[in-house]
Amino acid sequence: MENAKNKRGRPPQYRESLIYFALAVKIIFKLSWRDNGKIPDHTTLFYKASQIDKEFLGKCIKHIAAQIIATVLQNFFRLFIFLLEVCAGGEVIL
């Protein structure tokens, strides 16, 4: 978290990285502000989104989306191989 010793007001409750991640998930999955759950809350996300560097957020979203797609594809291929093995009665038919 940011060093808040010389700043006025309440210290930050969430790390910036958590805010960026929550915003990226919101955008990737087209969620509403309230659909993200409780951590961080929707008012914090909305406030931080208005202050964030849009170019940096775009880079974060592309990176996270690529990781999600890679994970989904990897698990899809594992499931596909498993189903092929089950349909072949335990024999690999590839």
Instruction: State the 10-residue block means of pLDDT for the chain, 94 residues long.
Output: 66 78 78 72 81 79 84 86 75 55
Cβ contacts of 84 within 8 Å, gap of 6 or more = 92, 93, 94
Cα–Cα distance for residue pair 80/27, rounded to 1 Å: 29
Query: Domain residues of the chain, as ranges?
Result: 16-87
In tens, the pLDDT along 25-48 reads: 777 778 877 776 666 777 888 888
Determine contact, residues 42/34, Cβ cutoff 8 Å.
Answer: yes
Cα–Cα distance for residue pair 26/1, rounded to 1 Å: 22
Cα–Cα distance for residue pair 58/27, rounded to 1 Å: 10
pLDDT computed for residue 90 by the predictor: 58
